[in-house]
Structure 1
Amino acid sequence: MAHIYISIVSHGNDDDIINNSNLKEINILDNVTVIIRDNLSSPKLKTYCAANYFMYNASDAVLGFGANNNINFEVASNLGMNKTDWFVLFNPDLDISAAMINKLSASLGNYSSQIFAINLFFDDKFSKMENSLRKFPTFCSFFNVLKGSSFTKAYDKKKLSYGGAVDWAAASFLAFKSDLYKQLNGFDENYFMYYEDVDICYRANKYFNQKVIYLPDIKAVHQGAYRNRNVFSKHFRWYLKSLLRFLFKSTFGMKK
């Protein structure tokens, strides 16, 4: 059975991680290793990880989402991750049961694809689905904003077939075959935050003919903050900068 290496990056998310009892159960599964990257070097989180046998590493400087996950990929490789194992991006504010991780592990071997997304919800009753599966944006997508719509068009999850392919999925939870992540050189670290997930899915599709496969019966709750929606925030500035980088890169072939 392939091993699953879960990569979590904490930007001050101590309480999200510490209070997540499911994460402790996931970490003791035989074929799972949870790696927590602490972007703020919190003594509290370090102590908790040591007491509960999470693989912990910390940053000397504040790094972006992509850079931190790339470091976790190196950690996983040093732990023995091979090309047939799975590297899973996992937001600290995400909650999924150990049973669902076992179900995911059993499902991954049924496909030749190398990127998978799951079904994210806003509530633990799984009644309010998050629009976490979307189509690639283009410069024409700016017209969506003028019409009062989201910049990127979301797929209707209810109309997607099991194992259906989508352009990209939010990195809140995204599973990569280890070998593909390595061939992609991981995330483009020029994105500090936002659109690095769009970019890596785009490159996987364009250069390796790998589309994201959707597994609707693998369910998790995501407590997304959506701080980029405040136009006066630094998160909105990061969002806009990353968006423009992706559009120029995908349209004009700008190199990484």
Structure 2
Amino acid sequence: MNIYISVVSHGHAEMIKQINCLPQLAKQFNVVLKCNKPQDAEALNEWCAENNIVIIKSDYGLGFGKNNNFVFDYCKHKLNMQGEDIFIVLNPDLHITAEQIAELVENMQRDRVAFAAINLFKNDEKTIYDNSIRKFPTLKDFFQSFIFGVNKCIIDKSTVFTPTPVDWTAGSFMAIKASHYQQLSGFNEKYFMYCEDIDLCYRSQLLKVPVVYYPTIHALHFAKHANRSVFSRHFMWHLQSTFRFLIYKFTHRLS
């Protein structure tokens, strides 16, 4: 059983080098870095070669889901990834150790888990949680979040101490058995950005495969959220993705 890690750089070249997480992971796992901008490819090409990281320098300007699907297909057809292997989606602004990934995969095998999430923090002291695990949202939840900044879907991580099924986890870190990712057909590429992670988890739940959250597996997330003010490009992407998910959720009810 092998581990394949998908990282997409969309102008993150300097951050990736500064965090310096990937060279350590590449010593034990298959790390594939997909550049979404030509300047990333230029900045990271030599660095990747020095650190045994596979770099993909083509098909620029894709959305989050399509990029990770591209990497999955590359791992399957070029790197011989098998169904029993683990495919990990890893944000470029995230730091995790190889030991934590190895422990996660060991737990997944022991518990026969096909889809896993981990505990993300926003600071080195691990006192500020990243709200990366949540309940599936309703139209009311989205409305309250957009208008009032109130999100009742967030799960309080301070109350979870053992591996626990959750509705969905953020795409900043996902560990999925390759055969299950294949069964789901990966991310829905109709989502350019936002909600594709909710959609993937929801479709997994429809197949009776929940996301299992492992609170003792830690990583640090240096998240920087794009401008989502009304009428900004990111806000419009978010709005479109929200309605796409809600329509799908309404027409495909969980039993």
Please classify the TM superposition score into its range, dividing by the shorter chain length: over 0.9
Q: Matched residues in 2 for 1:56 and 1:76: separation?
A: 12
In the TM superposition, residue 227 of structure 1 has moved relative to its aligned partner by 1.5
Are the aligned partners of 1:35 and 1:72 in contact in 2 as well (CA < 8 Å)? Answer: yes
Is the partner of 2:8 in helix, strand or coil?
strand
Residue 214 to residue 14, structure 1, CA distance change in 2 (3 Å): same
Deviation string 1:169-209 (CA, Å, 9 cap, x unpaired) is: 00101100100000000000000011000000000001x10
Verify: 1:39 aligned to 2:39, yes or no: no
Q: Matched residues in 2 for 1:145 and 1:93: separation?
A: 24
Residue 146 to residue 121, structure 1, CA distance change in 2 (3 Å): closer
Deviation string 1:36-77 (CA, Å, 9 cap, x unpaired) is: 000002311122112211011123331000000001001111
Residue 56 to residue 139, structure 1, CA distance change in 2 (3 Å): same
Q: Matched residues in 2 for 1:229 and 1:62: separation?
A: 20
My pick for the range that moved more, 139-148 or 213-222, is 139-148
Are the aligned partners of 2:184 and 2:200 in contact in 1 as well (CA < 8 Å)? Answer: yes
In the TM superposition, residue 25 of structure 1 has moved relative to its aligned partner by 1.0
Q: Matched residues in 1 for 2:103 and 2:6: separation?
A: 18
Matching residue of 1:226: 225
Is the partner of 2:31 in helix, strand or coil?
strand
Matching residue of 1:114: 114
Q: Which residue identity does 2:108 align to in structure 1? A: L
Q: Which residue identity does 1:211 align to in structure 2? A: P
Residue 106 to residue 200, structure 1, CA distance change in 2 (3 Å): same
Quote the sequence identity (%): 39
Where do 4+ consecutive residues of structure 1 move more than 4 Å?
none
Verify: 1:5 aligned to 2:4, yes or no: yes
Q: Using structure 1 for the length normalisation, give the TM-score.
A: 0.92
Q: Which residue identity does 1:210 align to in structure 2? A: V
Matching residue of 2:246: 247
Q: Which residue identity does 1:158 align to in structure 2? A: S
Q: Which residue identity does 1:128 align to in structure 2? A: I
Equivalenced residue count is 250
Is the partner of 2:34 in helix, strand or coil?
strand
Q: Which residue identity does 2:33 align to in structure 1? A: I
Are the aligned partners of 1:23 and 1:97 in contact in 2 as well (CA < 8 Å)? Answer: no
Q: Matched residues in 2 for 1:146 and 1:24: separation?
A: 38
My pick for the range that moved more, 97-106 or 114-123, is 97-106
Structure 2 matches for 1:1-256, cutoff 5 A? 2-29=1-28, 32-41=29-38, 42-78=41-77, 79-142=79-142, 144-145=144-145, 148-151=148-151, 153-206=153-206, 208-253=207-252
Q: Matched residues in 2 for 1:166 and 1:201: separation?
A: 9
| Residue segments in structure 2 that go unaligned for 5+ positions in a row | none
Q: Using structure 2 for the length normalisation, give the TM-score.
A: 0.92
Residue 184 to residue 152, structure 1, CA distance change in 2 (3 Å): farther
My pick for the range that moved more, 113-122 or 131-140, is 131-140
In the TM superposition, residue 140 of structure 1 has moved relative to its aligned partner by 3.0
Q: CA RMSD in A?
A: 1.8
In the TM superposition, residue 125 of structure 1 has moved relative to its aligned partner by 1.4
| Residue segments in structure 1 that go unaligned for 5+ positions in a row | none
Q: Which residue identity does 1:63 align to in structure 2? A: L
